[in-house]
Amino acid sequence: MFVFVNDEKIELEEGSSGIDLAIKLNLTTPEKALAMIIDGTKYDLIKKLNNNDKIQFLSFSERDGKNIYWHTSAHVLAQAVLRLYPNAKPTIGPPIENGFFYDFADLEITDQDLNKIEKEAKKIIAENLKPIRVEFKDKTEAKLAFEKNPYKIALIDKFEEGVISAYKQGEFSDLCRGPHLSAFTKIKAFKLLKMSGAYWRGDSKNEMLTRIYGISFPDKTMLKDYLTFLEEAKKRDHKKIGKELSLYGLLGEAPGMPFFYPKGLYMWDILLEYLRFLLTEKDYIEIKTPIMLKKELWQRSGHWDFYRENMYTSVVEDKEFAIKPMNCPGCMLYYKTEMHSYRKLPLKVSEIGLVHRHEASGALNGLFRVRAFHQDDAHIFMMPNQIKDQIIELLSLVETMYMTLGLSYKLELSTRPKKEKTIGTDEEWERATKGLKDALDEWGHSYVINEGDGAFYGPKIDIHIKDSLNRYWQCATIQLDMSLPEKFDLVYIDSDGSQKRPVMIHRTIIGSVERFLGVLTEHFAGNFPLWLSPLPVRIIAVADRHADYANEICKKTKELKIPCDVDSTNESVSKKIRTAQLLKINYMLTVGDKEVANSTIALRTRDNVVHGEMTLSKFLEKVSIEKIEKSLLSPFMTPKKK
């Protein structure tokens, strides 16, 4: 028989499996041929192949490949726990962005027990068990197989109609759709990282479970590199740096609702000032809508039916209100305050609005996952023939913002989900998707198509930024919406005098302002460029007699709108410098008798390089240009060789 791999025709014996094909193609190293896709469906490698099958192998370099690798590893973890703690009850164990976790009921352990569990997991891997897929004829049979585990029974009850399957490895069996690795020899490095508490199904009303996190790789060097990465990420933790630099904080009196301190608010204002400058250049107008609106509005927008559990509500004079979880409906009301002509389109309306969304307490994470945040939304109303040009303009805006901050990015286009789960006609979807694709093609940046991953109301472009640790963060989104203009009966007057429905784009550039500042904190490790730094200059007076000169320098620096302060404490100069370095101040200007006499300063930069004596005018000239140009590199610092 013949099968096809990447359009190459391969001859195989009848009854050959995916494993046989992988061996024939020499895809046997641990990171290759983890599973396969046939006609859009993922399968284990042990599946028998049919004549003319078109096959795609999944490797560890692909997201789907990692998910299969890590989900198999989660099953290894669960098996190890049950060998050591037979009374524990496994619940769920999914792959996550980096690694996997498994939640257990009736398991009381401490961090010290992780090493013992890890050793047992490695023993199981060494046994080279081969996971076997088991399919049940119905829910009754599946429940019988897991009758001693009420959590698995609850999962089975929630399953939709279709095949219910499990994977068996040795004495251990677990519910799973699959696919899995064909053998544990693929797992060359396995490490348990930490444990925490987690509520069953993420609901605080349910019982607390024990969650164990782990990671695995097809190469020991990859594990070593990942652990090094974790150490670096720990140093860059925005919660730690935010506290050390007095930027922001999260207090128990307002869980998930950040406090921004003076330095953090300075950065906030500078970032939004730049964003507003970019938007003004593109003819945006800005609005501000109420934070609380009537229930009827949210029913009209659809949020009440589909997002109610994440919304905060209140009753005022017997009327039910909701605090907005999104800015969109308020902007729809603004659009309807007047009639719009086609001549005035596109209409670009921005709002940096405060929204609130209820997140489970266990999901909160610094500025990355909060309950109150500001979204840099905009809604662009246009005619269908303006879609491509507006998308290109948005991509240009995104690139300008991200490049200024030294952030590279990748693009993803998500297309129509299953037809029965979307609104709009085939023609509208085809036109909207073509508009996005044509814009991306003309823009020229590479992109990935995620088939069927769009929203029910329109296709979208997601932009993922890459930070200095090569982590990706999804911030900007460009979303075509065919729902809200319909729900709010939005119209414009066309050239023939008829009323037409506008096409609308939702877009964010930085997304959540809070989250974006957290990302920047970790990207720069707190070493912010001068234009964004909350305290880029500190003048260090050697003694009290130098304080007046230091204050004079500080005044001149502030006149250039560059924040600075003076350290005239009684500490030693070396201790003052050390304090400034811990605060990650860009420039330390020391002034003593010599500098006062010569009207100069002694410059030391954040990288601990002493540049010596120079005139104040020379220093101010250079840092003034550095600020205006929003430079990422100090004119006094030498770039580090890679």
Q: What is the CA radius of gyration of the chain?
A: 29
For 225-251, give one letter per residue: b (16+ CB within 10 A) or e: ebeeeeeeeeebebbebbeebebbebe
Amino acid at 103: D
CA distance 404 to 56: 39
For the chain, the first-to-last Cα distance in angstroms comes to 52
176 is annotated as an active-site residue: no
Set 44, 103, 174, 377: catalytic member: 377
Catalytic one among 369, 379, 515, 606?
A: 379
Beta bridge partners of 103: 211
Annotated catalytic residue, options 348, 369, 506, 604: 506
Q: Find out whether 195 and 210 touch, Cβ atoms under 8 Å.
A: yes
Which of 176, 328, 331, 554 is an active site residue? 328
76 burial class (0-12, 13-18, 19+ CB within 10 angstroms)? buried
Instruction: Report which of 279, 347, 319, 328 is spatially closest to residue 491, judged by C-alpha positions.
Output: 347
Active-site residue (options: 375, 386, 390, 479): 375
Whether 379 is catalytic is yes
Rounded CA-CA distance 608/605 in Å is 6
375 assigned to active site: yes
Backbone phi and psi for residue 345, each to the nearest 5 degrees, phi listed first: -95, 145
**Catalytic member of 357, 371, 416, 606:** 357
- Residue 46: what are its φ and ψ, rounded to 5°? -75, -10
Locate 14 and state its tokens: 């009848």
Nearest Cα to 17, choosing from 40, 35, 39, 32? 35
Those residues whose C-beta lies under 8 Å from the C-beta of residue 127, and which sit 6 or more positions away, are: 170, 184
**How far, CA to CA in Å, does 268 sit from each of 212, 279, 308, 521, 558?**
36, 16, 30, 12, 19
Q: Which residues pair with 167 in a beta bridge?
A: 133, 174
Active-site choice (211, 238, 303, 460) = 460
- Asked if residues 455 and 479 have their Cβ atoms less than 8 Å apart, the reply is yes
Pairing of strands 164-169, 41-43: unpaired
What is the spatial distance between Cα 202 and Cα 364, in angstroms, rounded to a whole number?
12
CA 251 to chain centre: 23
328 in catalytic set: yes
Q: Number of H helices and number of E strands within the chain? A: 19, 33
Task: Tell me which residues are annotated as active site.
Answer: 328, 357, 375, 377, 379, 460, 506
